[in-house]
Amino acid sequence: MRDLEELLEGASKAAAALGSAVSSDKLIAIAAHNDVDGICSGTIAFLAVRGRGGSAHLRFSGHLYEDQLGRVISERPEFLLLCDMGSDQIPILRKSQIPYLVIDHHATEARDEWLLNPYEFGIDGAREISASGCAYLVSKALDGDNVVLSPIAVCGACGDMQDLNGANERIVTDAESRGLVKRRKEIRLIGRVDRPIEYSIRYSTSPFIKDLSGNPGAITQFLKDAGITADPSATISQLDADMERMLISGIVEKMVRSNASTFEAEKLFGPTIRLHASGVPTIEDLVDYLESCAALERYSTGFSLLCGDPGASAEAEKCRLCYKEKIFEGARLFGSAAHMSSMDYLVLEGWTEYSGKLSTIYANAGYARQDAPVFALNIEGDHIKVSARANPQLLQRGLDLGKALSAVAEKFGGSGGGHDVAAGARIPRQYQDEFVQALDREIGVQLAAREEGADE
């Protein structure tokens, strides 16, 4: 665990810098990414600063591209803290001469005294620890009592679809030691503790169950065919063991017939977390609520939910239902996808906040070719924002979406990056056709390289 111990040392150094800024009465300007991990990491940082008696301002946004970061810097904050982004902006931050700290987990070769990134310590930031996990380690180094923030870090990791092992395992153990969470192995559908079975299936988008998610009429017949005879108001957690197995079997069979990926099917059942010190019963529900709030730009609701505000649950539920209907509407656009040699892509307008989720569903729920990633091109004025997702099995063939988008976007005056299985970019709109062609070639080269190596 030497790599983890070195990461902990890095977190202690970052905590010292943050603590010094707080002691100097500097206003900490926190800019966090606007997804689940970003909301969690930004909230952890904010609460850690306030817990030390410091002043902080927290904002959420999409990836800070060079022009957007320039606007933040022009405000001349006394101390700038970036969460879940910023590794690729170190040269700009250095040049700004503003005191800064970056807490991130995206793949990077950047090294900087004030960058805390697990890759610097040989830890996989795509799978073993999120930005929330890193922010938690900093907060705990700042004050040992911040172990109470550990469930938020676990939520951030799950929001980025990470496994709860490696560094994440250490954080879960912290949460368990305080009785804040309990590990279980069970169905992982949302609402399984406090909502009827029909609700859990209808509003499930992780996994997305093709022909059932968003289709209440089909669910009634499905439950009948599966032999589920429970009271309509019963929750999944109230089913007996035999009926629970029947439900799992029926859903898995449905997903297999729909050609869903193994990755998607495995979301249905497995190790998970029950939350004990929260108004939200499970980690899947908390992630789902935050994802919904993020898509609707209701960041204050997500923040309040993480802070334990009793009134936030009802508002988060409203966000969830609105968000789900948009996802089901967006899924009806999948028939317009274009098919290239090595990839599929969708051209969308007005769907930017939903494209990451829609891309994940398209890639894994039975809509995509199993050997092709999907790219959602969202038109935003003079630019196109790209969201990319893939069946994780393609990683074994050499696919790396973050590297592909970084390399191709740069050729057309844009920028991109991210993880191997989930990434994003922004390019000038005028280069849409050329970008798509170049990206298809790049993906083809990645997939062919691994196959050629295997043949040698």
Average pLDDT over residues 412-417: 93
105: domain CATH number is 3.90.1640.30
Token pair in block for residue 96 = 């700004």
Which range marks the domain in which residue 387 is found?
334-455
The answer to whether residues 36 and 105 belong to one domain is yes
In this structure, are 315 and 444 located in the same domain?
A: no
Reply yes or no on whether the pLDDT at 2 is more than 80. no
- Asked if residue 324 and residue 257 are part of one domain, the reply reads yes
Give the Cα separation of 415 and 138 in Å (integer): 29
Q: Are residues 101 and 211 in the same domain?
A: no
Same domain, 192 and 129: no
For residue 380, the 8-state DSSP code is: E
For the residues 219-228, what does the mean pLDDT come to?
A: 94
- Does 88 score more than 60 pLDDT? yes
In this structure, the answer to whether residues 375 and 303 fall within a common structural domain is: no
Is residue 431 exposed (0-12), middle (13-18) or buried (19+ Cβ within 10 Å)? middle
- Catalogue the E-assigned strands of 206-343: 269-275, 338-339
Same-domain status, 286 and 369: no
Can you give the pLDDT at residue 450? Answer: 63
Q: Please answer whether residues 282 and 275 qualify as being in contact, where contact means their C-beta atoms are separated by less than 8 angstroms.
A: yes
Q: Does one domain contain both 175 and 320? A: no
Peptide bond into 310 cis (omega under 30): no
Last residue of a domain, one of 180, 212, 231: 180
Q: Mark whether 298 and 374 lie in a shared domain.
A: no
**Structure-token pair, residue 371:** 């050997």
The CATH number of the domain where 348 resides is what?
Answer: 3.10.310.40
Span 67-80, pLDDT tens digits: 889 999 999 999 99
Give yes or no: residues 152 and 190 share one domain: no
Same domain, 152 and 55: yes
If asked whether residues 278 and 240 sit together in one domain, one would say: yes
* pTM as predicted: 0.92
Which range has highest mean pLDDT (182-191, 223-232, 362-371)?
182-191
* Number of folded domains that form the chain: 3
Last residue of a domain, one of 297, 328, 359: 328
Where does a domain end: 307, 328, 349?
328
pLDDT single digits (tens) 378-410? 999 999 999 999 999 899 899 999 999 999 999
Q: What is the DSSP string of 224-254?
A: HHTT--S-TT--GGGS-HHHHHHHHHHHHHH
